[in-house]
Amino acid sequence: MKQRILVYVLLVMTLLIVDNSDAYAKPRSLCCGAGCNLGDPVSSGCAGSSSTYTAISKWATATSGTVRMDLKYAPACNANWTRGTNENPGAVRKLKAELWNSALTSQITSYQSSSYVYLWSAMYNGSTVLCGRGKQGPANGTIDATTAFGCA
């Protein structure tokens, strides 16, 4: 019986001594510039950085409602992304956020969903001039509201 208690006590002590340094680890650093390319602005922490601000906003309205496009930039990460929002959803069931190069010839990233009030594209290097636009439309229909391009 004494051996069983001793084994139990040693097991509990071992569990208490286990290295918990990960619990006190510093938060991971934010990505920066090209290191952010195609990353998620939310999970990377860039969207939540205190210096994140909207560079450009555009709106478009159609029968499906009003879509807002925000071209976002985070100086702490030196990264851009586009966020699309259903400002007045109406019959909207489709929302799209697009990020383009400054010549408007190549789409860098795009994300489309039918289940969100807002969504965002992946990030891209903030050292490059980028443009964005938002789109929306009714379920099982074509996109009927497209914002003008906004370029930073």
Q: What is the CATH number of the domain that holds 130?
A: 2.60.40.10
Q: Is residue 32 part of a domain?
A: no
Please say whether the beta carbons of 88 and 68 come within 8 A: no
Provide the pLDDT for residue 132. 95
Provide the pLDDT for residue 73. 93
Provide the pLDDT for residue 141. 75
Q: Is residue 91 part of a domain?
A: yes
Q: Is residue 46 part of a domain?
A: no
Q: Which two tokens stand for residue 41?
A: 């602005």
Residue 121 belongs to domain spanning: 55-152
Q: Is residue 73 part of a domain?
A: yes
Q: Is residue 48 part of a domain?
A: no
Provide the pLDDT for residue 30. 87
The CA–CA distances, whole Å, from 11 to 6, 7, 111 equal 9, 6, 50
Angle, alpha carbons 116-120-124 (nearest 5°): 165
Distance from C-alpha of 64 to C-alpha of 58, rounded to nearest angstrom = 16
Stretches where the chain sits below pLDDT 70 are 1-28, 89-92
Provide the pLDDT for residue 28. 57
Distance from C-alpha of 129 to C-alpha of 108, rounded to nearest angstrom = 12
Q: Give how many domains the chain has, as a whole number.
A: 1
Q: Is residue 25 part of a domain?
A: no
The values of phi and psi at residue 106, to 5°, are -130, 125
Q: Is residue 12 part of a domain?
A: no
Q: Is residue 19 part of a domain?
A: no
